[in-house]
């Protein structure tokens, strides 16, 4: 049994050593917000945060994540309230099908925690490890800008 710390809780889970973190999170622990897609580290939809840093969960063994704090989209809310970035994606329609959205939101969180007022070009650079097949990029960038405003208001108020 290996212990994985996901969204603030410890999970005892058994899996063969070749299984990726994304596989274990999605298939064994039921965190379906971890979207397994290309499985080659190209598309970004399986992104999780490992000790606060964005990681392609399809490109790392679950074994390698032992002892790390893992955050998936399921752990982003606080007491049931959506995170401002989640709220902003809804308000600005930052998606069509939504498959890639959890990854985009988690990488946006990393960006906004470091740089609370990013320019559109900085947002595009920070999110360049994500592919949106619906092509919602303009609205995704607008959503992150809106999230920055909402987080600013949250800090002020």
Interacting residue ranges for another protein, rule: CB under 8 A: 13-14, 16-20, 23, 27-28, 30, 39-42, 44, 47, 50, 53-56, 59-61, 63-64, 107, 110, 126, 128-129
Minimum distance of another protein from residue 21's CB (angstroms)? 10
Q: Find the Cα–Cα–Cα–Cα dihedral 69, 84, 107, 65, rounded to 10°.
A: 10
Minimum distance of another protein from residue 156's CB (angstroms)? 28
Q: Cα separation of 127 and 51, whole Å?
A: 19
Of 5 and 28, which CB lies nearer to another protein in the complex structure? 28
Minimum distance of another protein from residue 152's CB (angstroms)? 23
Q: Which residues does 130 contact at the CB level (< 8 Å), separation at least 6?
A: 43, 44, 45, 47, 100, 103, 104, 107
Of 114 and 156, which CB lies nearer to another protein in the complex structure? 114
85 in Cβ contact with 109 (< 8 Å): yes
């Amino acid at each position: 049994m290996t212990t994985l710390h996901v969204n603030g809780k410890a999970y005892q889970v058994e899996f063969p050593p070749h299984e990726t973190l994304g596989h274990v999170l999605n298939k064994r622990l039921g965190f379906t917000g971890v979207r397994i897609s290309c499985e080659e580290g190209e598309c970004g939809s399986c992104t999780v945060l490992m000790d606060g840093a964005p990681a392609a969960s399809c490109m790392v063994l679950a074994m390698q994540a032992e002892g790390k704090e893992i955050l998936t989209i399921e752990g982003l809310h606080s007491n049931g309230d959506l995170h401002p970035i989640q709220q902003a994606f809804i308000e600005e329609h930052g998606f069509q099908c939504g498959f890639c959205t959890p990854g985009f939101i988690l990488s946006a969180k990393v960006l906004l925690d470091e740089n609370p007022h990013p320019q559109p070009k900085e947002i595009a650079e920070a999110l360049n490890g994500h592919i949106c097949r619906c092509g919602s990029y303009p609205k995704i960038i607008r959503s992150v800008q809106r999230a920055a405003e909402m987080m600013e208001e949250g800090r002020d108020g």
